A and B are shown apart, each in its own frame.
Chain A
Amino acid sequence: MTQHEEDHKQHRVPYGEYILVWFGLLALTCLTVALAGIELGRWVIITALIIASVKSLLVLNVFMHLKYEDRMFRIFALVALVTFIIFISLTFFDYAFH
């Protein structure tokens, strides 16, 4: 068994925690749909993206175990995310000032 697998055997996520997160995800989905119905104008897209990000963080941290993994993995994921956000920002920056 590899060292990684050895470490893994330590943290076992209980079914209950998964189910709780699942309820949260379903609730957030309902929230997104409900908010889309109200007249929020330009805010609807940013609230939808914020809620989607919260859902993703839940999936990443609990379902995908990131919360329980070595800090190294979390740092890698953060770097990837920040890189992506930089891509988007630069694109818009470029587009807006052209």
Chain B
Amino acid sequence: MGLWLFLFSELILFGGMFIIYAVYRFMHAGEFRLAAAELDPFIGTINTMILLTSSLTVAMSITAIQQGRKYLSMVLVSSTLVLGLVFLVNKYFEWSHKISIGIYPQSPELMNKPQGEILYFGLYYVMTGLHAIHVIIGMAVLGFMLVFIAKGSVNRESFVKLEAGALYWHLVDIIWIFLFPLFYLIH
């Protein structure tokens, strides 16, 4: 229950930013579309599938621990971590590409563009950045879970911690489910 309350607070955090996005997009529809063309929908789609798969693996890790299959559970949690890492690596490539062509907050290149595009990229960096921080936190939490499973303090009798970690991870996935079409699929 406590964790669900925390998730609701995260919802408000990201929700607030989605609202800002909505209003600015409403105000600068054309420029948002122009700016979105800089993003690569292919990488975005791959990243979406990566996070969806990582949610699958962490969900299955709970069934595994319920069955007492400690090794399988650890393999599944590790897979989740690997997938999370791949996601972050992709984001790194995306960001560094944009930065290399001069598009980053306050860059001269960006400041010369129309207001709508400046807002779009500002939102892009803040929202995907905050999301990436949450991915890192989620990975740290799951990393701890992996150790707990190994040591036996998370086991078939007591696995609430793992469930909590998994819930947090699913939230991170859901946030991306919304970020993806709103930033990558504006045509």
Report which A residues bind B (CB closer than 8 A).
1-2, 4-5, 8-9, 12-15, 18-19, 21-22, 25-26, 29, 32-33, 36-37, 44-45, 48-49, 51-52, 55-56, 59-60, 62-65, 73, 76-77, 80, 84, 87-88, 91-92, 95
Contact = CB atoms under 8 A, between A and B. Distances in A.
Interface of B: 1, 4, 8, 11-12, 15-16, 18-19, 22-23, 26, 41, 45, 48-49, 52-53, 55-56, 59-60, 62-63, 66-67, 157-160, 163, 166-167, 170, 173-174, 177-178, 180-182, 185-187
B23 A52 contact: no
B15 A59 contact: no
B160 A4 contact: yes
A45 to B, nearest CB: 8
Residue in A12, A18, A60, A88 whose Cβ sees the most chain B Cβ within 10 Å: A18
Given A26-B52, A73-B1, A55 B158 contact: no
B56 A19 contact: yes
A65 B53 CA distance: 17
30 contacts: A4-B1, A8-B163, A12-B66, A12-B67, A13-B62, A15-B63, A18-B63, A22-B52, A25-B52, A36-B185, A36-B186, A45-B186, A48-B181, A48-B182, A56-B177, A59-B173, A60-B170, A62-B59, A63-B55, A63-B170, A64-B166, A64-B170, A65-B163, A73-B4, A80-B8, A87-B16, A88-B18, A91-B19, A91-B23, A92-B23
Given A25-B52, A91-B23, A95-B26, A15 B177 contact: no
Contacts of A51: 181
Given A13-B62, A45-B182, 17 more contacts: A5-B158, A12-B63, A12-B66, A15-B60, A19-B56, A48-B185, A49-B178, A52-B180, A56-B177, A59-B177, A62-B59, A63-B59, A64-B166, A73-B1, A80-B11, A87-B15, A95-B23
A32 B22 CA distance: 19
A52 B173 contact: no
A1 B157 CA distance: 7
A29 B48 contact: yes
A32 B52 CA distance: 14
Contacts of B163: 8, 65
A86 B12 CA distance: 12
Contact of A59 (B63, B174, B186): B174
A29 B52 contact: yes
Given A12-B66, A13-B59, A88-B19, A64 B167 contact: yes
